Amino acid sequence: MNKLRKLIIMDDDPHYSGMLALKLRMQFPELMVSSFNKADLPGEYDIYILDNDFFGEECGARLAEDIRKISPKSLVLVLSGTLEFSLLKRLVNCHAAGVFDKSSEDDLEHMMNLIEQYLVRIPRGTRGGTAASLPNTLRGIRELMTEWNKRLAFEEKRVS
């Protein structure tokens, strides 16, 4: 039997998660979308979208690391407004697939594309399947590094 894939949005802002959930459901009707307003583990899901900022506390990296322990093959996407090397390093280490700026429409589109790629690549009912295989992991890290390099170059230009 085909199982619905499960996605969870972890964000302290119910308005953001409500509208993002609607957009995700419209684009991916095959997904079961939930949201969670606490910075602790909600259980096992196929896709996690994590906000790095919960009521002023930065906990995206800790959450991503905790998720990897219970759900090693899931797709983990992080929303953050800051560029910090320590955050990037921890996210790369726990195989997060990308870091996105909440206020950027391009980043939202990029995030949707990653979810689509994941859904197309992974057969239903395998709860992550080969997502954490070596080629996928390397591809994820490469995409993450490329994205951050682009952003660092942009920031550099903006500052100078």
Partner 1 sequence: MCRTGKHILVVEDTKSVSMLLAATLQRVGFRVDVAESLRAARQLLSQKEKSQIKYDLALVDINLPDGDGSELLKELATSAWCKVRYAVSADATRRAKRYAMRAGADKYVIKPFDLRKLVDVISEETGLRIIVHHSENQESWSDEKIRLAQSYRDHLRFVTGELKTPMPLTALKSRLHQLRGSAMLYGFRRISALASELSERLSEQGPSLAEDVRAVLRQEICVSLKE
One residue of 61, 76, 77, 79 binding partner 1 per CB under 8 A:
79
Exactly one of 53, 60, 67, 78 binds partner 1 (CB under 8 A); that residue is 53
Looking at the Cβ atoms of 46 and 51, the one nearer to partner 1 is 51
Give the number of C-alpha atoms closer than 13 A to the C-alpha of residue 141, restricted to the C-beta side. 14
Q: Which of 93, 104, 113, 133 binds partner 1 (CB under 8 A)?
A: 104
Nearest to 4 by CA among 132, 126, 121: 126
With contacts defined by CB under 8 A, name the span among 50-58, 113-121, 125-133, 138-146 that binds partner 1. Answer: 50-58
In angstroms, what CA-CA distances link 127 with 50, 66, 116, 122? 18, 17, 15, 8
Judged by beta carbon, residue 31 or residue 114, the one nearer partner 1 is 31
Q: Is 19 in the site for partner 1 (CB under 8 A)?
A: yes
Cβ atoms 68, 113 nearer than 8 A? no
Please give the structure tokens belonging to residue 95.
Answer: 């195989």
The sign of the torsion formed by the CA atoms of 82, 61, 107, 14 equals negative
Residue 21 in contact with partner 1, rule: CB under 8 A: yes
Binding site for partner 1 (CB under 8 A): 4, 8, 11-23, 25-26, 31-38, 42, 51, 53, 55-56, 79, 81, 102-105, 108
